[in-house]
A and B are shown apart, each in its own frame.
Chain A
């Protein structure tokens, strides 16, 4: 054989995932740092610019993600209880929540793009500095978050397929746990983004 047998280590796998999550938090941390500096510098303009955002959709997205975090955690319990059907339903709800989030984002961003309110346009460059930076941060942070949401959803789709195939079962479910952990990270980042971007008024 050309390699030694890999020994399964679920605790190690989870430890690795936790460390990866720290790296993701630091990745967004750089953006939060820029946000803190710029908000301090342009406090009034940040307040005013934030009024352009749709707080209702933002709040809806927050609730949707919280529900999805709950359902993915419940799906782990379902797998532990050997309830394949319930695990499938719960994970599907999680993925449905992801889709709802993305649809909401499509409307939000779509609206801004339709009125030329995005980085690089002449309109944007003509605004006051605080406005420009607020919207740059808005698009960058929610865009990067959206990318991570899609990645998380892909991981959960893989987990869902493996549950159906019986590869994730009550004795072997660390992939689902790690996927759920990643999903919680995606949720957590949004929990910070929402007040900082939508609720600064």
Chain B
């Protein structure tokens, strides 16, 4: 159980041992660990851009009336903010960082099934991002449609929709290729003796996510092509003047974009499921329930898309059905929350930064999830649709959930990735700023949303001013928290990390920190239980 694979003999994956050196070695790598880091740096850069856009909106919203820029600019800003955060950060997010870096090691593999395709997918990601950025500066100006590109506005506006949509299409292709890669990896490259039910739960989460990536993304692919065809050739699918139906766009869009939110959350839940047993030194409660619930969320998630369209004019039967299924899909998520809490019960709690993020995740995700049910109920949704209640809900789930899980995962696997520890006190301080700032930023938006504050508006009635100001201040506190976090993690002056600084049981903790290029020269011995603490 304590094999010391390559602890001192082989150079780490961070050292260039091949023909090429430096940047070129990284840009031509097919090592899943390096590709994971390529994604991590890219995501960090794009997150800073997207975050600044968010802070810019918050600054404009500090007082009613126009402060710094007008509605056209505001619309372009929230469009780009959404595009970056959704397509460049949270959809790829944990899958491409931790799915790439950690998952193959956890299943005892030396790499993914298609390493060159893996690098190609990263290049597509960068290309898609570049096209989205270019859309800001070419044509008749940056798109102002929102990241949702609803017809008929998106087919008629003069802004540069085609470029933005093309970027999203390329990003979708990258997502599909990663999904294919991970499915085949998990089917074909598990170490001898590691059956599906002896896999840790992060690979389970990544597996379920990969199936959604593969089966849902093509639908938005074709929908985006239809937008382009409408703008260029006037095909008329969404244009009533030619016989089409704009609601058809909404259906097609959400048939992907709802499963997409499960692409975002499932790997996040997988990361939380890895952190909690380690810092409670206790076997995960309900392993099979968590594994199956990942698949259940992936499956049922395909059937709830209409809950984004309750006010668009569907029949009573349709909205009842979508509402019922929406409530059903909440059940597997709730099962996971119970299992995490049950794991912590009577565990030997070690409140290190990763666990702080995991606990914050459970709290913030629960708020986000419960407010999702408010939206899933038909009558209440009529009140809150298109208000800042929705904005608060999805930021709690995506930012409070996926975002905090991402940060928890970074703090958990940082020693493994970089071979150094970091300062816990500063990490905890950053966490405080993030947690407090986050709640100040978004909680007031629930309240004013119910009171009628619309979303995507650059101006508002004076009665919402106090809440908006609290929210903006929260946003700045959040921003400070990120600065502290990033500076702390970039300072490479922590102690050298041992192979297993946290006492984890999954296979990555048997490798040196950082691991050598070849993970397992000989296949590892696979324990009967991946969380073998007792």
Footprint of B on A, CB under 8 Å?
1-4, 6, 9, 11-12, 15-16, 19-20, 22-24, 26-31, 33-34, 37-38, 41-42, 118-120, 124-125, 128-130, 132-133, 136, 139-140, 144
- Interchain CB contact (< 8 A) of A9 among B18, B179, B188: B188
Would you call B234 and A119 a contact (CB within 8 A)? yes
Residues of A within 8 A of B189 (CB): 12
Contact of B187 with A by CB under 8 A: yes
The answer for the CA separation of A130 and B243 in the assembled complex, in Å, is: 7
12 examples of A-B residue contacts, CB within 8 angstroms: A2-B25, A19-B214, A26-B219, A27-B219, A28-B222, A29-B218, A37-B245, A42-B243, A132-B242, A133-B237, A136-B235, A136-B237
- Alpha-carbon distance A185/B252, docked complex (angstroms): 23
Residue of A nearest to B517 (CB): A4
Nearest-Cβ distance from residue B182 to partner chain A, whole angstroms: 10
Task: Tell me the dominant secondary structure on chain B's binding face.
Answer: helix
Residues on the B chain within 8 Å of A2, using CB: 16-20, 25, 28-29
Interface size on B, residues (CB 8 A): 51
Q: Determine whether the beta carbon of A11 is less than 8 Å from that of B188.
A: yes
A-B residue pair count with CB separations less than 8 angstroms: 128
B519 and chain A: residue at smallest CB distance: A4
Contact among A15, A30, A130 for B184, CB-based, below 8 A: A15
Classify the interface of chain A: helix, strand, loop or mixed: helix
1/0 per residue B221-254: CB within 8 Å of A? 1110110010011111100001111001000100
A143 to chain B, nearest CB (A): 9
Chain-A contact segment, one of B111-119, B265-273, B438-446: B111-119
Contact flag A16-B252 (CB < 8 Å), given A30-B223, A119-B233: no
**CB-nearest residue of chain B to A128:** B243
With the chains together, A25 CA to B188 CA distance in Å? 24
**Within the assembled complex, what's the spacing in Å between the Cα atoms of A145 and B159?**
30
* Neighbouring A residues of B518 by C-beta, 8 Å: 4
The CA-CA distance from A133 to B245 in the complex, in Å, is 11
Quote the shortest CB–CB distance from A33 to chain B (angstroms): 7
Residue of A nearest to B221 (CB): A27
- Cβ-based interface call for B129 (8 A): no
Instruction: Name the distance in Å between A139's Cβ and chain B's nearest Cβ.
Output: 8
Cα–Cα distance between A144 and B222 once the two chains are bound (Å): 10
Which residues 72-88 of B sit at the A interface, judged by CB distance below 8 A? none
